[in-house]
Amino acid sequence: MKNRSYLKGTILLREESAGAFPRKFTIGKVIGKGGFAVCYEAHHENSALGVLKEFYPKNAGAIKRDRSGQLFYPSDTPEKEWFEKEREAYLEPYHTLRSLQRQNSSGELSAFIPPFELYRGCDENGNVTGTAYIWTPRPALEAFDVICDEIHSHPEQEPEWKLVTVLSAMVSLTKCIHVLHNAGMLHRDIKPANFGFLKRGEEHLTQALSLFDVNSICSAFEDMETGIGTREYMEPESGYLPPSIQTDIYAIGAVLYHAVVVTPESRGRGYLFQREDYDDLRRLVDESRLIRASEGNSHPRLRNILTVILQKSLCERAHRYRHCGELTEDLEKALFYALPSAIARQGNLKEKGMFGLDANTDKNSSLALQYHLYHWPLYAGTEKDDPVLAVLLIGFGNYGQKFLDICLQAGQMRGKTLDVTVVSDDATDREIYLKERPELDLFFNIDGSQEGAEDPYGNVSFVQRSLFLKNRQKNSEVLTDILREYCDQNSPPYVFIALGEDMMNQKTARACAEAAGSLGMDCRRTCLFLLGGQLFFLSR
């Protein structure tokens, strides 16, 4: 028979503060097993579909089922007292969560933990007997491990959407755990199979997170045994130190590693973090197929912040993030850099402008930049006998760094000295760029690294300055100071502007022209900026 797996109706008693009342369930197929429970697909008497979790420890020994299928311990069995004690311990987190949900007036806790009801097995007369059950009405949820499996199988298919999904999911998870921590609770068993999201068609609603298994949750203020959780996501200290906030933070880091580090090495380990991976985290992130699959995912700042998050989550407990709030901030930074390319077609801001250059695989952004420098070379604005090729690069994200790479190659001309000034509002841009090019300062004078050398390939100066979307006058003053200090006023520099936002690029180009004009220079024909997926010169 098609429905052969379904058993006859089982009567369970629902626990309520005012007492208990019976409800009839039709129990179907097994959908999961753990160390302390078996999960069934089930319907209750009003035909609602959901999951019925039955307390059933693996080492239950003499436990039996009665004629209705309910678990019980014979009264003459010596393990009966042990079973009842374990059953109450299993239910304790649910009682605690119910109490916390009532106290949490903002509703944050309920937003992350799905509604549940507690039931007891009973006989035909309604007398409580046997084991305990947790009933959860089930919406169309998909566990995070399913999302990870798809990433591992096809990392190059829609890689930017996959990375955005992972990072937004991790933000939701971390916020959820932060709420638990603020309520004085620890989770202790965070893993991809223990949380999931609603789906709308093929889209994962990552803000609608639900925790599936909460029986590991406990108070942070009680005496807790060590070694609770799933081994692959447990911190090294779990064997000898009681759990703490950092226990959950480590597990979040291990989940992130599982999702984003897709390399031949990690595949051989089931995409699970192992201690020997720690010193290689930067390389593993850089070499991940998910990261390398698109220019958006391989943004230098994005790769750097992902590495930092993994390092600060998976290090020794004493050096981890102090709390989930700090971790959330860094995850949101990563999401900021992951979002642009992924939602470019929807017209959002932040480095969307270059999407048009990446749309054709035969003409990616590097080739597009080379094309423009071929038609409008670095010497376009200089006099024939001018010995200096001055370049001003404003903004040093993914495309600013690509432009500099091309400049360092294209600027090698006989009788010309390349002189590049890079303006960025973030000092880590310089650090990231040079870290990935460790021998660059052997050839180029980087902020004075070859001071006194007879014939360096050129000069590169990094300047940390902030520009503002709504203060053109201030921007003009900042750029005037930079041009005066770093550029030869007898010759306008070749300017490349890539600040990650069309409006900001356009306004900065105009401010730069004003600044150059105040110094007697005209850079309108050499001021290149991004706008709407295209490269434009200010005067063209």
User: Does position 76 have pLDDT exceeding 80, yes or no?
Assistant: no
Secondary structure of residue 247 in the 3-state scheme = helix
Please give the angle made by the CA atoms of 304, 307 and 310, to the nearest 5 degrees: 150
**Is the predicted pLDDT of residue 4 greater than 50, yes or no?**
no
Euclidean distance between CA atoms 165 and 335, whole angstroms: 9
Residue range 430-457: mean pLDDT, rounded: 87
- Ranges of H-type helices in 26-143: 80-103, 108-112
Instruction: Report the candidate in 103, 101, 120, 119 with the shortest Cα–Cα distance to residue 111.
Output: 101
Checking phi first, is residue 289 left (phi over 0); if not, alpha (psi -120 to 50) or beta? Answer: alpha
Phi, psi angles (nearest 5°) of residue 418: -80, 130
Kindly report the average pLDDT of the chain as a whole number: 81
Mean pLDDT of the 80-105 span: 80
pLDDT(264) > 90: yes
Tokens of residue 151, six digits: 């990433």
Output helix, strand, coil percentages for the chain, rounded to the nearest 5: 40, 20, 35
Asked whether the beta carbons of 274 and 265 are under 8 A apart, the reply is: no
Q: Between residues 416 and 14, which one has the greater pLDDT?
A: 416
Residue 105, helix vs strand vs coil: coil
| Measured distance CA(187)–CA(212) in Å, rounded | 12
Using the structure block, give the residue that is written with the tokens 């991790």.
170
Please report which confidence band the pLDDT of residue 356 belongs to, taking 50, 70 and 90 as the band edges.
Answer: very low
Across 317-321, 361-365, 371-375, the highest mean pLDDT is recorded for: 317-321
Q: What is the DSSP letter of 385?
A: T
> Considering the chain, what percentage of its residues have pLDDT values greater than 70?
83
Given a cut of 80, whether residue 224 has pLDDT beyond it is no
| C-alpha Rg value of the chain to the nearest Å | 30
pLDDT of residue 360: 42
CA distance 429 to 398: 10
Per-residue confidence band for 249, with pLDDT thresholds at 50, 70 and 90: very high
The band of 140, judged by pLDDT with boundaries at 50, 70 and 90, is low
User: For 36-63, how does the pLDDT look when each residue is reduced to its tens digit (9 = 90+)?
Assistant: 888 888 887 766 778 888 888 877 777 7
Give the pLDDT band of residue 349 (cuts 50, 70, 90). very low
Distance CA 190, CA 216 (A): 9
Task: Say which residues have a Cβ less than 8 Å from residue 515's Cβ, sequence separation at least 6.
Answer: 476, 477, 479, 480, 482, 483
Query: What element of type H or E holds 516?
Result: helix 502-518
Count Cβ atoms below 10 Å from residue 178 Cβ, excluding itself: 20
Eight-state DSSP code of residue 8 = P
Q: Is 129 helix (H, G, I), strand (E, B) or coil?
A: strand
* 453-512 pLDDT, tens digit each: 778 889 999 999 999 988 889 999 999 999 988 887 667 889 999 988 888 998 999 999
User: The tokens of 121 are what?
Assistant: 């097995």
Please report, as a single letter, which amino acid is at residue 514.
E
Q: How many CA atoms lie within 13 A of 322 on its CB side?
A: 1
| CB-side neighbour CA atoms (13 Å) of 353 | 25
Considering 87-96, 249-258, 485-494, 497-506, the range whose residues carry the highest mean pLDDT is 249-258
Q: Is 417 exposed, middle or buried (0-12, 13-18, 19+ CB in 10 A)?
A: middle
Residue 1: per-residue pLDDT: 30
30-39 long-range contacts, CB within 8 A, separation 24+: 34/213, 36/86, 36/90, 36/215, 37/90, 37/134, 37/215
| Banded pLDDT at 126 (limits 50, 70, 90) | low
Per-residue pLDDT, 67? 72
Instruction: For residue 153, give the amino acid letter.
Output: S
Dihedral sign (CA 316, 318, 320, 324): positive
Strand pairing report for 64-65 and 49-55 = unpaired
- pLDDT greater at residue 312 or residue 227: 312
pLDDT at residue 107 in the model: 62
CB atoms within 10 A of CB 502: 19
